[in-house]
Structure 1
Amino acid sequence: MMAFSARKNLLTICDKTVGDDTIPTIHGLRSISMGWVILGHTCIVSFKYSDNMSYRLLMEKEFLFQAINNGPYSVDTFFFISGLLVSFLYFRTTAKHDINKLTKSTGLTSNFLEFVGMIVYRFCRLTTPYFFILGVVQVAMKWFNSNSLFEPPSTDHINCPKYWWRNLLYINTLFPVKDMCMLWSWYLADDTQFYILGAVLLIMAVKHFWTSFGLLITFLISSWATTAYIAYTNMHIPNEDDPLALFDKIYDKPWTRLGPYLVGMAVGWILFKTDCKIHMKKVTVVLGWLISISVLAFLVFGLYGSKIGRVSGAAYSSMSHTAWALGLAWIVIACSTGYGGYVTKLLSWSLLYPFSRVTYCAYLVHPIVIRFTAMRLDSPVHLGFDMVVSNISFINSKN
């Protein structure tokens, strides 16, 4: 019953300490990225329920607004973190414990039981809050569909009763987006599919490391090629099209978003193998930070005002998500091995730990809060800087 104790859970969430064998930098990346996600979703809903849609076109021409347009990279950060933690924690666990003793078997039977255990553990951990929120979404959107002046932003009240089982199996991104229940759950589906693939690679890596590594590289290159092909055949130009223009073909599909997760897995293995102790020369550290910051800044602001062709657009679409993860890889490695300086202090700031611990629930809940705020209005919003600031402040206070 203590698991349902509000006091105990609040104390756990607000605890400003972490274990010595954790990666504190992750908490900062997670907290900042969650704020970025909420910012992007707030803007999307505000645009939908505004009376001056043309204001969005003006804002999209502003340099700083590229941080909103390129908000999808915040999700790549979460994919990267997921892959990193799965890999790091798995190798650390297998180094401390004999898996054969835990499964009470050997060989393929042991591997199979280990795989099943990993999947069941993840399913139980994620699904309870996920499906509680899914039920809230279905009921709330059905009520708003009948009582709000505005149409719901998606047809959850219709799709959820029909297709909830896709969410339960975490396969909803394999079907058309028009039939998706709880649109933002696409991330959970992709992340779970990546986890299943990652579990296979990790179990294989214990005895057949190079085979597992070869498969990881193969999957990575295949993801690049697939994304490039889809972007090219659909004439997708990243800095001209709406960021969500190809949601059903590129944005939510696991084969186009796999790169950051695999990079994260590689970084997790590096940190485990080196025990977070890597000696680097000063010139290496300086170059590493310059390249990392330059890559991340270019991905957010680099295409502003530029013209790129069909081939370049396809190449950019296929490589950009992985490039983002590579930029983060340096930050995590440098900060975890003593070369992060003030960046380490910021990302490891104990004040961010509570926010980091609730990012999963914040991700599930915040779109409901945004929709509730918008659909209770008695008139469209009027887009403007003051409105954006006040709405973001309100949403963050509710999360």
Structure 2
Amino acid sequence: MVLVRGPLLYRLTLWAVVTAAYSGNVTERCMQDTKAFLWELHQDSPSPYAALMYDAFGKIGSDVKGGNTNRPGSLQECLSVQGPSFSGQYCQVFLKQDPVQYFVGICVPDSCDEDEVQTMVVYEMFQKGHTSLIPPFPSILVAQSTQGIFMTHCLSNTATPDLSAVTCLFVCCAMVAVPLAATVLIAIIKWQLKREVSPGVESSSLSTNPNMYGTLMHNGSPSVDINQCTLQQLNQVSETDDNHREDSEENSWVYSCLQAFSIQRSSQGVLSWTGTRASYSSLNGVRILSLLWIICGHTIQLSAWNNLDNDKRWKETVDRNPLYVFAFSGPVYLAVDTFLLLGGLLSAKSLLGSIQKSDDKLSICLVVSYLFKRFKRVQPLHLFIICLAIGFFSVVHRGTFWFIAEDEILNCKKYWWSNLLLVNNLLTITDICAPWTWYLSLDFQFYATTPLLVYLYRLNKGLLVAIAAVLLVLSSVTSAVLTAFLHLPVHQPTTLAYKSYFQYYYNKPYTRYGPYLIGILSGIFMTTKKNNLIRLQWQAALGWFTSLSVMAVLVGLAYVLREVPAQASAPHALYQGLHRPLWALTVAWIVLACEEGYGGFVDRLLSLSLWVPLSNISFACYLIHPILIIIYNGKQETPIHYTDINFFYLFIGHTALTLVVGYVLTVLVEKPYLFLKGKNTKYQN
């Protein structure tokens, strides 16, 4: 955009400001500061502050046809402005020129609020016959040359957290401070104990410190020669022994709590390269590869929606090309179905193991304990992430592309309770706090059905098969009917079907139960089977050929059917109803084949010891990686340009940082609550 200087620009823009002021929507101070800025613009040698303000305005760039429509301007340059009686304030004007929606960054005096800025912008933009400071795209680039304004948003220079943000920051700090304090206390206690029991110390010193934290002496009282004691002395010794025992139990419980929260305890085994014997080794590889797939998809998704300056080029080269299967395309969401399958398999295996330890009885108390352990496993870190989203996003300095973070703050402040109750997947996508956590709610809801299916299995295997078949058919038919009735695509759309896709289909239990159900059935079978299912080489070869072929077809059809159908489409409905359970069956076959010795190279790959420590921190990595991506994207001052190499490096960077932060959160937040036990429960080191 060429700077049009001289009396004409000044008179017309000043006329717009004065007109807006006389309308009663602009204060005197805002009007005077804006007039001073506009006056400087028409001078032969404008003041440096005015030049900076104008330079901070967003300008029309190249490759508008390729998607470079946003004009962010310069946030930092605007904030550096110091005028005669005001500072620079960065605002974003959100506009629409059919079919393009975009925003323009402008720099205005900080004496004007959002409503005043929008009023002046409206009057300034729609005056005929003058050059606007926010010019529309010319008709040669965009079909509609008339601008429509639908919002103005100003970024404050300083972050001012409210009570909810302060509370959340306090909770996050407390959840981190407690393990750190426990770590220091445990280190001090062990140092003292080492001094107490070190060689050369007289035995009398032990008797003066009986049962230090429940570890030194069994009975907690000094030895006594009964033959030399009177009855009164014996009673005194007995009373003393009881008192010491009570102190011992109290000290032991306090010590066990400190140990549970200490890093010395929570970090044990996290970075171990050897898994437990009771687990299926191939699951670690399946879990981590699926997680990397999701991180890769989110890296591109969250950038492509708001940050790219060539998003149309990206759609042409990436969104429609099967060679980019690990980027933003339908198959990315199959990784979630893999997680659901693994969740069902491990939940059935865990419950059957608990039943075996409880004298082969499936009691109400066992079910309650089973569900509570899952709740305790998920919620501490889950709620920490929610508090982190509210608190940290509220205090960090905003960036030019801070839209998603702003939405997260508002949604989490309003709908945090749905995360606490694990029902946020039942809300609409626009109301979900931390949208990626819908999986935790869905997983827990499915997890609660495992005891019922295991009970049916123990009651009658035929009855379990019949009910499972009915549930599987209902889930598939529901998905197909919704897809046909609502004209849904086969995976996440970026069009007007977006809201319906999430509100009625994507994260709802009645459409996603198939993979989890198959996981439960697989877990029951693999835990209780007495003989291998695969006995001959040809069976293994046929199974592998069928499994890999089905996977390839499902991935390929996701591209063929990716468009939103204009009317009810049988292919879309059929694919939507079948692709998730079919994908789960193929992954279940891979796990079974690997466990029965027919995995070959795939088994060796999935069972690498490398996956074990990564698997130990995978839950924390899943929860934290979107926050890291949102912060990175939101703090950008210019759009991101998509190239394969740029986003490969971006994916590697996000992954590396996710692993580091995921390990820290696993040790400080997730693990301590798993180790923490009740006061009357004996603690095991």
Fold similarity call, TM over 0.5: yes
Distance 1:147 1:240, change over 3 A: closer
Say which SS state the counterpart of residue 322 (structure 2) adopts: coil
- What is residue 182 of structure 2 aligned with on the other side? none
- What is residue 272 of structure 1 aligned with on the other side? 527
1:163 and 1:303 map into 2 onto residues whose CA distance is 33
1:90 corresponds to 2:351: yes
1:23 corresponds to 2:285: no
1:337 and 1:71 map into 2 onto residues whose CA distance is 28
Residue type of the partner of 1:361? A
1:130-179 per-position Cα deviation (integer Å, ceiling 9, x unaligned): 101110011233345x7221233262211212211111111111121111
1:56 and 1:275 map into 2 onto residues whose CA distance is 52
Whether the aligned pair in 1 keeps the contact of 2:534 and 2:540 (CA below 8 Å) is: no
- What is residue 291 of structure 1 aligned with on the other side? 546
Between Structure 1 and Structure 2, how many residues are aligned? Answer: 389
1:85-142 per-position Cα deviation (integer Å, ceiling 9, x unaligned): 1112222332343155xxxxxxxxx633222222111111110011011100112333
1:33 and 1:46 map into 2 onto residues whose CA distance is 20
1:7-47 per-position Cα deviation (integer Å, ceiling 9, x unaligned): 54444111112222221111010010010010011001121
1:79 corresponds to 2:340: yes
2:489 and 2:534 map into 1 onto residues whose CA distance is 41
1:50 corresponds to 2:308: yes
| Pairs within 5 Å for 1:174-189 | 174-189=426-441
Distance 1:240 1:15, change over 3 A: closer
- What is residue 398 of structure 2 aligned with on the other side? 147
Larger mean Cα displacement after TM superposition, 6-15 or 128-137: 6-15
1:275 and 1:52 map into 2 onto residues whose CA distance is 57
- What is residue 312 of structure 1 aligned with on the other side? 571
Residue type of the partner of 2:551? L
Higher relative contact order by CA 8 Å / sep ≥ 6: 1 or 2?
A: 1
| Pairs within 5 Å for 1:126-205 | 126-143=378-395, 147-153=398-404, 155-205=407-457
- What is residue 105 of structure 1 aligned with on the other side? none
Deviation at 1:304, TM superposition (A): 3.6
Computed over aligned residues only, the root mean square deviation of the Cα atoms, in angstroms, reads: 2.2
Say which SS state the counterpart of residue 490 (structure 2) adopts: coil
Residue type of the partner of 1:78? F
Deviation at 1:61, TM superposition (A): 2.5
- What is residue 295 of structure 2 aligned with on the other side? 38
Deviation at 1:203, TM superposition (A): 3.0
Larger mean Cα displacement after TM superposition, 378-387 or 75-84: 378-387
1:396 corresponds to 2:647: no
1:375 corresponds to 2:646: no
2:559 and 2:421 map into 1 onto residues whose CA distance is 39
1:78 and 1:240 map into 2 onto residues whose CA distance is 18
1:293 and 1:383 map into 2 onto residues whose CA distance is 31
2:467 and 2:630 map into 1 onto residues whose CA distance is 42
Gaps of 5+ in 1: 101-109
Say which SS state the counterpart of residue 349 (structure 1) adopts: coil
Residue type of the partner of 1:72? Y
| Pairs within 5 Å for 1:204-243 | 204-238=456-490, 241-242=493-494
| Pairs within 5 Å for 1:92-131 | 92-98=353-359, 100=361, 111-131=363-383
Distance 1:297 1:7, change over 3 A: farther
Say which SS state the counterpart of residue 400 (structure 2) adopts: coil
Deviation at 1:305, TM superposition (A): 4.6
Deviation at 1:268, TM superposition (A): 0.8
Deviation at 1:192, TM superposition (A): 0.6
Residue type of the partner of 2:626? P
1:112 and 1:253 map into 2 onto residues whose CA distance is 28
Say which SS state the counterpart of residue 381 (structure 1) adopts: coil
1:352 corresponds to 2:614: no
Residue type of the partner of 2:299? T
Bigger Cα Rg = 2
Whether the aligned pair in 2 keeps the contact of 1:50 and 1:381 (CA below 8 Å) is: yes
Distance 1:207 1:240, change over 3 A: closer
Larger mean Cα displacement after TM superposition, 389-398 or 53-62: 53-62
2:531 and 2:518 map into 1 onto residues whose CA distance is 17
Q: Between Structure 1 and Structure 2, which shows a larger proportion of helix residues?
A: 1
TM-score by length of 2: 0.54
1:328 corresponds to 2:582: no
Say which SS state the counterpart of residue 381 (structure 2) adopts: helix
- What is residue 338 of structure 1 aligned with on the other side? 597
Deviation at 1:240, TM superposition (A): 9.8
Larger mean Cα displacement after TM superposition, 127-136 or 232-241: 232-241
Q: Between Structure 1 and Structure 2, which shows a larger proportion of strand residues?
A: 2
Distance 1:239 1:165, change over 3 A: closer
Residue type of the partner of 2:606? L
Whether the aligned pair in 2 keeps the contact of 1:239 and 1:304 (CA below 8 Å) is: no
